[in-house]
């Protein structure tokens, strides 16, 4: 049992500096527009983490030897190249989740970089401000690689968001919170996902790599950027005073996978399945000298099938200073955040995909990724808008479905949950199919042609083998 709940501080992943220094002979320019391309290097290597002070260390593998990896923060319109150097023992493939990367740089599962090799990934960064993340995607070992540490935040910023005067400053009032759920062996090492075919729920909740941390805050507004990077666990997050057993405090959801919502949505419970990003503004100004706990509802508030353990209802603690903020809090949450761009939709369903289990394998319309002959389940002409219907037909299991390349508009969801109010105000790249749900999503298949993956983001399911491909085709040549 982990005995240090709320006793260790929240780590904040450092922001990675680009190596544009010409002494390193790494200055790269786009030959067409003459603009500098920001060049980064990340080394995938093993490291140890002392999680249980009285036991042995856990052996992990992460980007630059930390997990989450360093955060990459780039302004919209600045292209980047990231050299991922594999100095680990296993193959890797890197996916920048949420980026419309060209197919050769999208982390195609079989496009692996072997130990001792590196690959330069090129990213356009032409999206509006949003919280992307980079993580491993190597075929059949994605769960293991991501869970042992290969995941990090990648933020695109832009001027339109800056002028809103939301709480600002990476690591100061704008805080990434990368959630994970893990399991440890008696010797303090990490229990492996290898060999699991159902799910790895985990009984130890981590935020930014630290089990159940605390974070000292000023009595003011904070922007909290949640990423659920767990292998299998979904969360139903809520805030409560540490002295209270129940009362859920209100907060504002301001952004989803694809950046700002059209307007802030007030809620008291936030559902976050795997790979989803939700950004909220929480106002601590009323709680001088108090503690606010971030908690998780049992059974994901009835919509999950996750196994719960002694402390999986706890996530982290915010300790609010009794002193007034150093600077007065002038940040605001405007009532309109942005015009979310989206083409008008029709009603025709272009594709229906069933996520199910058969003979111990997780499949999509009876196909798994290993079936290379049949795994391209859709051909989509570039530039078209399509509606896909995603059906969870696997009983009590749940599946967050990620479609590469595109932003999704959630049109409808069957079951008692419906489309969540904060889902309706923005765009997504992963959508949660909880128990028995069928969800319709619409996307504009652009800007590139090519072969892209879609899959369940329960990484155990993805590896076994709930992943397929769609081909964005060129009509006009
Ligand atoms: Cu976040 Cu295809 O993955
Ligand atoms: Cu699944």
Ligand nearest to the CA of 429: 1
**What is the whole-number distance in angstroms between the Cα of residue 212 and the centre of ligand 1?**
25
Note the pLDDT of residue 99: 98
User: Is 88 a pocket residue for ligand 1 (Cβ < 6 Å)?
Assistant: no
pLDDT of residue 22: 47
Report the nearest atom of ligand 1 relative to the CA of 97.
1
Determine how many CB atoms are found less than 10 A away from the CB of residue 440: 22
Distance 426 CA to ligand 1 centre (A): 19
Q: What is the pLDDT of residues 107-139, one digit of tens each?
A: 999 999 999 999 999 999 999 999 999 999 999
Structure-token match 């974070």, residue found: 215
Contacts of 359 (CB under 8 A, 6+ apart): none
Using a 6 Å cutoff on CB, does residue 455 contact ligand 1? Answer: yes
pTM over 0.90, yes/no: yes
Tally of CA atoms within 13 A in the half-sphere of 375 that contains its CB: 17
- The two tokens of residue 256 are 């989803």
DSSP output for 18-61? P---GGGT--EE-TTT--EEEEEEEEEEEEEE--STTSPPEEEE
In this prediction, does ipTM exceed 0.90?
A: yes
Query: Which numbered atom of ligand 1 lies nearest the CA of 404?
Result: 2
pLDDT at 23: 47
How many C-beta atoms lie closer than 10 Å to residue 411's C-beta? 17
Q: What is the pLDDT of residue 271?
A: 97
Q: For every residue of 73-118, which 3-state class applies, written as one string?
A: EEECCCCEEEEEEECCCCCECEEEECCCCCHHHCCCCCCCECCCCE
Residue 453 Cβ contacting ligand 1 at under 6 Å: yes
Rounded-to-5 percentages of helix, strand, coil across the chain? 5, 45, 50
| Residue 40 token pair | 């980064």
- Residue 99's nearest CA partner among 463, 402, 477, 467 is 402
Q: Which residues pair with 320 in a beta bridge?
A: 217
Residues facing 9 on adjacent strands: 214
pLDDT digits (tens, 9 = 90+) for 139-166: 999 999 999 999 999 999 999 999 999 9
State how far the Cα of 28 lies from the Cα of 76, in Å rounded to an integer.
17
The total of other beta-carbon atoms located within 10 Å of residue 461's CB is 29
Q: Which two tokens stand for residue 147?
A: 């869970």
Task: List the chain residues with pLDDT less than 50.
Answer: 22-23, 477
Ligand 1 centre to CA of 340 (Å) is: 23
């Amino acid at each position: 049992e982990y005995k240090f709940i709320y006793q260790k501080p929240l780590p904040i992943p450092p922001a990675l500096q680009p190596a544009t220094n010409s002494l390193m002979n790494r200055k790269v320019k786009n030959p067409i527009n003459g603009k500098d391309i920001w060049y980064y290097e990340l080394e995938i290597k093993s490291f140890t983490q002392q999680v249980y002070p009285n036991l042995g260390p856990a052996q992990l593998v992460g980007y630059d030897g930390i997990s989450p990896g360093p955060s990459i923060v780039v302004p919209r319109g600045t292209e980047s190249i990231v050299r991922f150097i594999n100095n680990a023992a296993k193959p890797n493939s890197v996916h920048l989740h949420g980026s419309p990367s060209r197919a050769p740089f999208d982390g195609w599962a079989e496009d692996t970089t072997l130990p001792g090799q590196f690959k330069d990934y090129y990213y356009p960064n032409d999206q509006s401000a949003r919280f992307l993340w980079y993580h491993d995607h190597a075929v059949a070992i994605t769960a293991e690689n991501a869970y042992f540490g290969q995941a990090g935040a990648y933020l695109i910023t832009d001027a339109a968001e800056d002028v809103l005067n939301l709480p600002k400053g990476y690591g100061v009032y704008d805080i990434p919170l990368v959630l994970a759920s893990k399991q440890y062996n008696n010797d303090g090492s990490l229990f492996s996902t290898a060999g699991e075919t159902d799910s790895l729920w985990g009984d130890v909740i981590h935020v930014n790599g630290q089990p159940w941390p605390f974070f000292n805050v000023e009595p003011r507004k904070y922007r909290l950027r949640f990423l659920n990077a767990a292998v299998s666990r979904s969360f139903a997050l809520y805030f409560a005073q540490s002295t209270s057993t129940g009362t859920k405090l209100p907060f504002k959801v301001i952004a989803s996978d694809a950046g700002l919502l059209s307007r802030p949505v007030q809620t008291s419970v936030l559902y976050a399945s795997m790979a989803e990003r939700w950004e909220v503004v929480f106002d601590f100004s009323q709680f001088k000298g108090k503690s606010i706990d971030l908690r998780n509802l049992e059974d994901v508030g009835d919509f999950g099938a996750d196994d719960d353990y002694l402390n999986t209802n706890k996530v982290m603690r915010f300790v609010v200073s009794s002193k007034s903020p150093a600077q007065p809090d002038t940040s605001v949450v405007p009532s309109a955040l942005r015009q979310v761009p989206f083409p008008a939709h029709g009603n025709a369903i272009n594709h229906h995909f069933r996520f199910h289990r058969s003979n111990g394998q997780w499949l999509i319309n009876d196909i798994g990724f290993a079936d290379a002959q049949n795994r391209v389940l859709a051909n989509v002409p570039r530039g078209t808008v399509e509606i896909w219907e995603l059906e969870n037909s696997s009983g009590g299991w749940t599946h967050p479905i990620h479609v590469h390349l595109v932003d999704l508009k959630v049109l409808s969801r069957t079951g008692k949950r419906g489309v969540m109010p904060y889902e309706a105000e923005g765009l997504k790249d992963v959508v949660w199919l909880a128990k028995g749900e069928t969800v319709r999503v619409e996307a504009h298949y652009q800007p590139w042609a090519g072969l892209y993956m879609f899959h369940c983001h329960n990484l155990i399911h993805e590896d076994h083998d709930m992943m397929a491909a769609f081909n964005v085709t060129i009509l006009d040549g």
